[in-house]
Amino acid sequence: MTSLLKTSDLNPSRAVVDAVVPAGEPWLHRLGRGQVLRIVDLEGNQAVDTVFFNADDPDEHYSLTHTIQAQGALYLGVGSRLMSSDARPMLTVVADTCGRHDTLGGACSCESNTVRYGLDKRPMHSCRDSFMWALCHCREAAALRMGKRDIAPNINFFMNVPVTPEGHLQFADGISAPGKYVELRAEMDVVVLISNCPQLNNPCNAYNPTPIRLLVWDTAR
């Protein structure tokens, strides 16, 4: 993996999918092999919790362990290969204007909100809630018979989670900015499951969750 930033020459007007996802909402989409997905941080400092599944066999999903081992680094950037639980490449980061994407912080849930921030935070909406809503209500998930047990460890695009010398995680201010984006090319047919994080209790969203834009191209042209 390289830490260099890289812009894309893909034209948004030629995208086959162009969607804006409000803060706190989920998005589920089937991405064909060779298609390119761009995730855009529209207003800056937004966290985008994302899980990938093999579209033909959802038991094979994104694996943070295999991904970290394959690239020898904790954070994702240009050239990173996202590996599956079967140690196969699922997607490749082909463009990135942010430069830092977290693999360790996981998704917020009512349980983690309660432990970290207090009992009064338990009813707050969370990324795990968004994942569950999408798996229960989206047609693509129903066809694959996906449910709660299929939720796997996720990537947090644009999120800054430094690891201390003692091995602890810190939820720090993001380094993204309005219009920053990351692009991924699918190396197999995948299902993309996104929660546009609603977190209000730590600086991953600058305490102000905002929309994201999602674009898909059929080819890298």
pLDDT for 63-104, tens place per residue? Answer: 999 999 998 888 888 999 999 999 999 999 999 999 889 888
* Distance of alpha carbon 70 from alpha carbon 220, whole angstroms: 24
Per-residue model confidence as pLDDT tens digits over 140-180:
777 778 877 788 889 999 988 767 777 767 666 778 999 99
Quick one: pLDDT at residue 83?
97
Kindly indicate the confidence band of residue 34, based on its pLDDT and cuts at 50, 70 and 90.
very high
Residue predicted with more confidence, 14 or 150: 14
Instruction: Specify which of 17-26, 70-79, 108-117, 118-127 reaches the highest per-range mean pLDDT.
Output: 17-26
Q: Is the dihedral of CA 200, 141, 157, 111 positive or negative?
A: positive
For 95, the 3-state DSSP assignment is strand
Average pLDDT over residues 169-196: 90
Looking at the domain assignment, is residue 197 inside a domain? Answer: yes
Domain carrying residue 87: 26-207
Per-residue pLDDT at 3: 52
Structural domain total, the chain: 1
139 domain residue, yes or no = yes
Q: What is the pLDDT of residue 1?
A: 42
More confident residue, 20 or 163: 20
Q: How far is Cα of residue 94 from the mean position of the Cα atoms in its chain?
A: 15
Predicted local distance difference test score (pLDDT) of residue 162: 66
Q: How confident is the model at residue 4 (pLDDT cuts 50, 70, 90)?
A: confident
199 assigned to some structural domain: yes
Task: Give the integer Cα–Cα distance in Å for 66 and 88.
Answer: 9
pLDDT at 50 over 80: yes
Residue 2: the pLDDT is: 45
Q: Is residue 34 part of a domain?
A: yes
Question: Does the residue 219 lie in any domain?
Answer: no
pLDDT at 172: 67
In a domain, 12, yes or no: no
Of the candidates 24, 61, 17, the one whose C-alpha atom is nearest the C-alpha of residue 39 is: 17
Decide if 169 is inside a domain. yes
* Average pLDDT for the chain: 87
Whole-structure pTM value: 0.90
Give a yes or no: residue 141 inside a domain. yes
